Amino acid sequence: MPASQAGPPAIAGLPGRSMLVQRNDDEVVARPLDDAFVPRAGADVRFPAPWPRHRGTWEVAPDASVVVFAGVHAVRAVEPSGATRWEVRHGCWYGACREIHTSYDEYADRPDHRYPEGGSVGFSADGTIVWAHVRGPLPEGELHPDAVDEWLVIDAVSGRVLARADAEAAAAGSFHLPHPTDPRQMGLSIGEGQDGAPLRWGRWDGEEPAVDCLEGDLCLLSVSPSGDRLMTISHDQDRLAVRDSRGAVMETWEWEAEAVIPGHPDATSGDADEPPACWDWAGGFLDETTLVVSTAESDDQWGQGRHWLIDIAGSFGFVPITYPSPVSCEPTALGNGAWSTVSESRDVLHVWDVRTPED
């Protein structure tokens, strides 16, 4: 899609079931990829979008059979034909609105709904469950008077709400990261703007959801292939850590940005204007013991943004990545040893893996 009309292309899905996805205001396109990230010829699937892309988030099912859109007033599953498979309505994401809207047209042209807050959806690893972070209440009623945001467990085929939990947050935005092998576990990273970054880990036993509220303001960036390790960044972007799903830092795997990131090579030594080093909201696990991270935000004043590899197994530690040509964005971890970057023009996606000089 033209970069002026769409978001950048991205690779979605777990290793072995990845796809190239992109969205404009009118549709989502999904192109399945093989294990080498080569597009499968003639396999494109297009899904009509129910509302413009700035009015919510979306997620493609692992088998590319449906897209679930998380909008201002509803979570809607749409098939390639454009048919609505199901819809779950909820409270309006515009903070001052207390209406339970029945359609997008009710507020599409209202100036006060132009910049709503929002939630997100995530498919379980097997695609059978959709987890949805929504603004309450549902038409069926509120959980309790103090609940603002809700976390729903939804049957991906029927749209039946299987469980509801208080997210204990008032979000400006959020995103989901699934457990790679257990379809009944899901991570939810919530942004509350300057107020904080609550992190939730959910478990569903088939009847009731259990939600762990991880201590501290943390952004969840990645889940390891085993699902046993989480990569997080602190809200102030100062601390990068590998944690267990209960939130505890594992081993000694926590890194203070200013302690481990060397000064930018293009900065003047001792320059008082040099901004403090910070981790980007980007990166993740390449495999169970290797992370890709970046510091492009704090590097920007001086020149080329830098990416780093961290080996928690200890064979090479913390090292900068040398690319054959400059990159201008943060990395996205894809698993299986690979990560991606988007071109400066935001219309080309590059996939990388590690090559040593001996290779």
Enter the DSSP assignment of 136: S
At 298-321, the pLDDT tens digits run: 888 888 899 999 999 887 789 999
> Do 141 and 25 sit in the same domain of this protein?
yes
> Do 199 and 228 sit in the same domain of this protein?
no
The pLDDT value recorded for residue 97 is: 95
Total-model pTM: 0.94
> Do 135 and 245 sit in the same domain of this protein?
no
The pLDDT value recorded for residue 358 is: 59
pLDDT for 268 beyond 90:
no
In a domain, 219, yes or no: no
Q: How confident is the model at residue 113 (pLDDT cuts 50, 70, 90)?
A: very high
The pLDDT value recorded for residue 271 is: 56
Q: Which residues does 41 contact at the CB level (< 8 Å), separation at least 6?
A: none
Q: What rounded mean pLDDT belongs to the chain?
A: 93
Rounded to an integer, what distance in angstroms lies between the CA atom of residue 333 and that of residue 15? 10
Q: How many residues does the chain have?
A: 359
Rounded to an integer, what distance in angstroms lies between the CA atom of residue 280 and that of residue 219? 11
At 205-215, the pLDDT tens digits run: 999 999 999 99
Q: How many CA atoms lie within 13 A of 271 on its CB side?
A: 13
Between 14 and 130, name the one with better pLDDT. Answer: 130
Q: How many domains does the chain have?
A: 2
pLDDT for 168 beyond 80:
yes
Q: How large is the average pLDDT for residues 72-100? A: 97
Q: How large is the average pLDDT for residues 68-75? A: 98
Between 90 and 272, name the one with better pLDDT. Answer: 90
The pLDDT value recorded for residue 3 is: 82
The pLDDT value recorded for residue 330 is: 94
> Do 303 and 199 sit in the same domain of this protein?
no
Q: How confident is the model at residue 234 (pLDDT cuts 50, 70, 90)?
A: very high
In a domain, 74, yes or no: yes
> Do 180 and 279 sit in the same domain of this protein?
no
Region at 205 (left for phi over 0; alpha for psi -120 to 50; beta for the rest): alpha
- H-assigned helices in 225-334: 257-260, 296-299
The pLDDT value recorded for residue 315 is: 75
> Do 105 and 247 sit in the same domain of this protein?
no
The pLDDT value recorded for residue 20 is: 96
> Do 191 and 266 sit in the same domain of this protein?
no
Q: How large is the average pLDDT for residues 156-184? A: 96
The pLDDT value recorded for residue 274 is: 62
> Do 297 and 165 sit in the same domain of this protein?
no
The pLDDT value recorded for residue 272 is: 56
> Do 8 and 76 sit in the same domain of this protein?
yes
The pLDDT value recorded for residue 163 is: 96
Rounded to an integer, what distance in angstroms lies between the CA atom of residue 282 and that of residue 285? 11
In a domain, 165, yes or no: yes
Q: How large is the average pLDDT for residues 254-281? A: 81
Q: How confident is the model at residue 276 (pLDDT cuts 50, 70, 90)?
A: confident
Domain that holds residue 198: 1-214
* Domain end position, chosen among 190, 214, 238: 214
C-beta contacts of 268-277 below 8 A and 24+ residues apart: 273/301, 274/301, 274/302, 275/301
Kindly report whether the peptide bond that precedes residue 145 is cis, defined as omega within 30 degrees of 0. no
The pLDDT value recorded for residue 300 is: 84
Q: How large is the average pLDDT for residues 345-354? A: 90
pLDDT for 172 beyond 80:
yes
> Do 181 and 209 sit in the same domain of this protein?
yes
> Do 190 and 298 sit in the same domain of this protein?
no
> Do 301 and 326 sit in the same domain of this protein?
yes
